[in-house]
Every structure is written in structure tokens, then in C-alpha cells.
Chain A
Amino acid sequence: MADPVDSMLDLMRRLPPSRVEENVNALIRICPDYADDLLGSVDQPLKVMTDRATGRDYLACDYNRDGDSYRSPWSNEYDPPLEEGTTPAPKLRKLEIAANEAFDTYREMYYEGGVSSVYLWELEDGGFAGVVLLKKVMNPSTVDEPSGSWDSIHVFETAERGRQARYKLTSTVMLQLVTQHTEKAEDTQAQTNGGHGWKSTGEVNLSGSMTRQTEQDWPMQDSSSHITNTGKMIEEMEIKMRNLLQEVYFGKTRDIVYDLRSVDDLDKARKQRELQKELVGFIKR
């Protein structure tokens, strides 16, 4: 029999992304022993929290969680407060502060809003790992406007080798887009649509996530090189993934709808092709 964790992950790749939180909770309820595996491997929308000390927003996920508390990258404090919450060693915390500042600039340049957070932690083999989180939500100003949310989760691991460092990066972007519309006879071509009493309502929900990985070596000068190196890698990855999302969301899914139903009359096209064949045959004779 297959490994239950593999089956859970396969299931999560199939069920609607718009219901990921509900489904992860249901899985944890029936298989509590696998809670850590699931929370560690299934990406869920990031929660926005506010740092009580600085008033700044930060993002909560499994990587800055200790028990039921989340650590803020700005004040390094846990909320709800924890006596002995895990925090990075002083040297790594210094790098974490600088990384948060750098990615905050990155966020402003690309997202023009939203929230970012960077968390770093030591690895047992002497290296360290980190996660760079970015989130932006757009609420519609009117009912007919689309709403959307973008969540980026970039997890990396690094090991220094002399004047070089190797980085393993796993990036996930969750993107949700929703539009709703209502049309009534009085506001469109009512007459052509069967006279009085015509009404149409609808909702379109396009949501999901995509994940990509890369492994690269970069030169090292001092520890701050880790920020420029991961910065360049994450920027490149997000540009690539934004293109990919655009292609899948607005290209692929739309093409599949047209594979299900054709706006053009297929029968007419078929007959035209037959006629053309006959004509070609006629000319050849």
C-alpha cells in the first residue's frame, strides 16, 4: 500500500485550491499523526498579523510558528507571547533583519503594497535555511470588479563552500482571482435575448498554485552576500513564475473551455472542409 503522506499530497494536488485550508484541517482531524508532515509540505494562504511592538504587518506560516504562536520578523517577539520561543542565533538574526529590510524594498518595487516577511533558521549541518514570503490582496471597489490575492513562498537552504555558496530554492505562488457579474434585461440588448424578463448572473473563480525548484552556486564575499544572492534568485524565479501563471491561468484554462464548447459552428466548418475537398478533387480531375 502507498505511503499515506504521498496519498495526502496527491489528494491536495487534485482538490480545489480555493478550499485548501478546510481540506488540510479535515486530513489532520482524521490522521493527527501526520499533522506535521502535512503542515510542512502543503502550502496554505499566508495569514497577515500585526506586530504589537512596532505596529507593522507580517506574515504567518509554518516557518515562524512555535506551538500556537507566531514570531514577528520586526520585533522578534512571539504573538501570543512565548517565554522560550525559538529565535535565530544573534548573528543569523542580524542577517534576518537585513534580509527583511531588503525584501521590503523588493516588495515595494514589484507589489506596490502588500506585506513581506523573511525568516531564517540554523540547519544542523552548520548551514542555514530561510523563507521569503510576499502577499498582496486586492479587494474590488465595486461588485463587478475582480478581486485577487497573490501569495509567494520561497524556501531556500544554503551551504557555504569556501568563496561560494550553493542554494536550493523551492518557490510556490498561490494566485486567486474571482469575478462576479449580474446582468438584467434593462441593461443589455434585452430585445435580442428574448424580449422582457431576461436575467443572467455568474461567478468565475480561477485559483491555484504552482511550484518550481532550482539549485544554483553563487560567489560569497561576506554573509550579506546571502541576501544579494537569494534576492537575485528569487527575483528571477518570480519573473519566470509570473509568466508561467499568466500562460496557465489566462491561456491554458481558457483553451480547455474552448475544447469543451466551440463558439464557432463546428458543423458548418466540417461541411466547408468537405466542400473544399470535393472542389480540390474536382480541380485535380
Chain B
Amino acid sequence: MSEADGRIEAAASFVLQSPPGEINDVLNDVRVIVNDDDTLEEGILPALQEYNLAQFIVVDVPGADHQTIVSSIARKLDSDGDEERFFDPRSKTSFKFDHLRLEASDAHPEEPDPDAEPLRAALEASALSYLAAHYIGGVTSVFVVQPPDNFVIQIVSNKYNPTNFWSGRWRSHYEIDLGELKTIRGEVFVNVHYYEQGNVQLETSHGLSLSIPPAVANAPPHTAASKIFALIEAEETRLQTSLNESYHEMSEKAFKGLRRALPLTRQKLDWDRILGYKLGAELTASKGAFTTAS
């Protein structure tokens, strides 16, 4: 491996570990450390793309007044396989995406799958009302992955507060099979960074799978969609409650077991006495019979 390759490999690993909303800070640091803009610009793009897709980066959709999620599900390659575009199912447009500047351009209208669209649109409507009920500034996208009855729902919620040294990101990804399997398989990731005079990070991952009752799967789109979101709502609320339980366990069992707030005596240490005990023998030896008990 050449020296430049080694530096790019390290830089890519740093970029992929960026906390929510701090990719530009990490890039600025990496730029100074690598100290070779040309090599970096050329080599870092794959890592930026991987980061953006994995982290559900959101972008303003050209010509629409909403944001969409740039993820691997939204990503489409053209027939030659060399031009990458992203699809926003809500506005039914596709666009090019600049992974460094995080901007969309060159929007084209796209034709949705006619068989899957009624159910997709119903899921999207339910997703938007679910978002309004539980997320502050979240973004959602509902994709058809296998017409007519396989969908992916993604949700991302970001809060960046650099003035108070914290940031957070919640990502949900659900694969909905309303056909043969009748299942919801989901993954939820929460990342929090708190960095005032320190660096504290919360990293959680949850996987879940549950079956969809046949009555729900076979219901008309609107009913099926709202029932599915009732299931998702229950799961995500349960997940948040279980996170609270984990906090409680970590605080009561681990934190308190690692270091006591005060010794068993409920008093701070008497350092003169500790030293008295420890050095007692030595002092006794040097002072002979004239020692006094401490």
C-alpha cells in the first residue's frame, strides 16, 4: 500500500465514524492531517457517499417543498451503471446528488409503478401523520422495492446544536412485506454526541421482526397503512421505554457498582489518618519511644 493510499484509507475510516451533523468538522480536521487536498478530494468521495447513504442524509427536493432521504434504497443507477441518481417517491422525481456539497440537481419526473402506488401513497400518508405525532423535524420516505406488495419505510430525525455542544440522530428502516411473508422487519439506530469539555456518545441499535395479521395485510390500502403504523408506533414506543430501562440498569447496576458516591462510612477520607497508618511504622522507627498515637 502506498503512503497516499494509507492516508486515504485512514481518512475514509474517520469520515465514516463522524457523529451526527459533524461531517464538515471531521473533514476539516482530516484535510489538515492528510495535508494533500488533491489526493484527498479524489480519494474521499466513496467514503462520503457511503456515509451519506448509511446515515440517511436528507436533501431538499428540487421543485418541491419537502426533504427526502438519500439512502441506498433511493439510489438508482442508469442502464450503463455509471450515473447515480436518487428517487424521491413523494414528488415522483429523481435527481443527481453531490455527496460533498449535499445538494440535489437535475431533477426529472419519474413514473411510479401503477400497481404498487395506491398502497405506497397510503403508507406515505400514514408515515407523514406518524411523523407529525412523534418526531420533531423528522423526514420520511416510502419506497416500493418489489411491486406490488414490498415496501421500505425510512425515517430520520436530526438535531444539531453545536452552540451547546451536542447532536443527535434517529434512524428507522422498515421492510414491509404485505405479500407472502406478511412481516415487518426493522432496524432502529440512535446516535447522540455530547462534547462540552469531553466526548460522550450514545450508540444504540435495535433489530425487530413481527408478523402482520392477515386481516391487516388484506385490508384496503388506507386501513392497512394505518394499522401498519399502529404496529410501528407501538414498537418504537416500546423501544424507547426499553432504552429507559437500559439507562436505569446501567445507572443502578453498573455506574453505582463502579465507583461509590462516598465510602461506606458516608464520609470523605481522613487523609492525615491514612498517611498516619501507612507511614506509622516508618515514623515510629525514626522517632523511637517518643511517638504519640495519631
Contacts and interface: CB of A to CB of B under 8 A. Distances in A.
Contacts of A111: 258-260
Interface residues of A, number: 94
Contact of A262 (B18, B134, B183, B198): B134
A146 interface: yes
A256 B208 contact: no
B197 A106 contact: no
B206 A201 contact: yes
B35 A4 contact: yes
Contacts of A201: 206-208
B100 interface: no
Given A27-B10, A30-B34, A253-B200, A8 B258 contact: no
A260 B258 contact: no
Interface stretch (A119-127, A154-162, A189-197, A272-280): A189-197
B133 A266 contact: yes
B259 A211 contact: no
Given A199-B209, A209-B199, A253-B200, A15 B257 contact: no
A82 interface: no
Contact of B260 (A19, A112, A192, A232): A112
Interface string B111-145: 00000000000000000010011111010000000
Contacts of B29: 7-8, 10-11, 14
A143 interface: no
B30 interface: yes
B33 to A, nearest CB: 5
A285 B30 CA distance: 63
Interface stretch (A47-55, A61-69, A238-246): A238-246
Given A211-B198, A262-B134, A200 B250 contact: no
Given A14-B199, A202-B204, A253-B192, A261 B26 contact: no
Contacts of B193: 14
Interface residues of B, number: 94
B218 interface: no
Given A146-B250, A193-B235, A257-B240, A200 B208 contact: yes
A148 B254 contact: yes
Contact of B17 (A15, A145, A146, A263): A15
B249 A179 contact: yes
A72 B269 CA distance: 26
Contacts of B274: 102, 105-106, 231
Interface in A1-41: 1-4, 6-8, 10-19, 23, 26-27, 29-31
A267 interface: yes
Main secondary structure of the interface of A (DSSP, over half): helix
Contacts of A177: 250, 254-255
Nearest to A230: B271
Given A15-B17, A257-B202, A246 B255 contact: yes
Given A193-B234, A209-B199, A259-B168, A198 B209 contact: yes
B14 interface: yes
Contacts, number: 298
A160 B2 CA distance: 52
Nearest to B157: A260
Given A13-B195, A105-B278, A231-B271, A205 B135 contact: no
A260 B168 CA distance: 7
A259 B140 CA distance: 17
Nearest to B34: A30
Interface string B249-279: 1110111011111111100110110110111
17 contacts: A7-B30, A17-B200, A29-B10, A102-B275, A105-B278, A138-B257, A146-B246, A177-B254, A193-B231, A193-B238, A197-B211, A198-B208, A199-B209, A202-B239, A205-B202, A227-B275, A250-B255
Interface of A: 1-4, 6-8, 10-19, 23, 26-27, 29-31, 98, 101-102, 105-106, 109-112, 136, 138, 145-150, 175, 177, 179, 181, 192-212, 224, 227-228, 231-232, 235, 238-239, 242, 245-246, 248-250, 252-254, 256-263, 265-268
Given A105-B277, A201-B206, 18 more contacts: A3-B32, A7-B29, A13-B195, A27-B10, A106-B269, A181-B242, A195-B213, A197-B183, A200-B238, A204-B250, A206-B250, A210-B200, A212-B197, A231-B274, A249-B255, A258-B240, A266-B132, A268-B133
Interface of B: 6-7, 10, 13-14, 17-19, 22, 25-26, 28-30, 32-35, 129, 132-136, 138, 157-159, 166, 168-170, 183-184, 190, 192-195, 197-213, 231, 234-244, 246-247, 249-251, 253-255, 257-265, 268-269, 271-272, 274-275, 277-279
